[in-house]
Amino acid sequence: MHTILLAVDGSPGSLGAADHVVRLLQTGLKAEIHVLNVQIPVDSGHVRLFVETERIEAYHREEGLAALAPACQVLATAGLAYHRHLAVGHVADTIAHYAEKLPADQIVLGSKRGESLRHMLLGSIAHDVAERTRVPVTFAPARG
């Protein structure tokens, strides 16, 4: 069975990526879907002096679940089963790590509407992910 890692951030690009995964499975592909959101860590020692670790973790969980929700709704509406994953870390490194750990056969990422090919390939998280893994990366256009 094929394993797809769908990395999302709650943006229209993420909805486009979820739509792409739905289309793949509607063509007959048998796949296990893993939906991942990566939150950027609070690295400032000053923040940690004034905010409890539990509150920071709760914030990351709340933001992560909110980012996962739209893409998960697309998959659920299509009747597809999926696994949710929340992580905190450097976004590209964490996506690449999850892809290797699963192991994933494919990573699907959304792009921003109107984003130039040059920016999509040279100056984005998508490029950073592609540089950090041997797993094929698919860039799906944003919804809308």
- Strand ranges for 40-130 from DSSP E: 83-88, 106-110
- Strand ranges for the chain from DSSP E: 2-7, 31-39, 83-88, 106-110, 137-140
The rounded distance, in Å, linking the Cα atoms of 8 and 18 is 8
Domain span at 49: 1-92
Q: What is the pLDDT along the chain (144 residues), one digit of tens a residue?
A: 999 999 999 999 999 999 999 999 999 999 999 999 999 998 766 766 788 889 989 999 999 999 999 999 999 999 999 999 999 999 999 999 999 999 999 999 998 765 555 554 545 788 899 999 999 999 898 887
Task: Specify the pTM.
Answer: 0.90
Domain contains 111:
no
Q: How many domains does the chain have?
A: 1
Domain contains 54:
yes
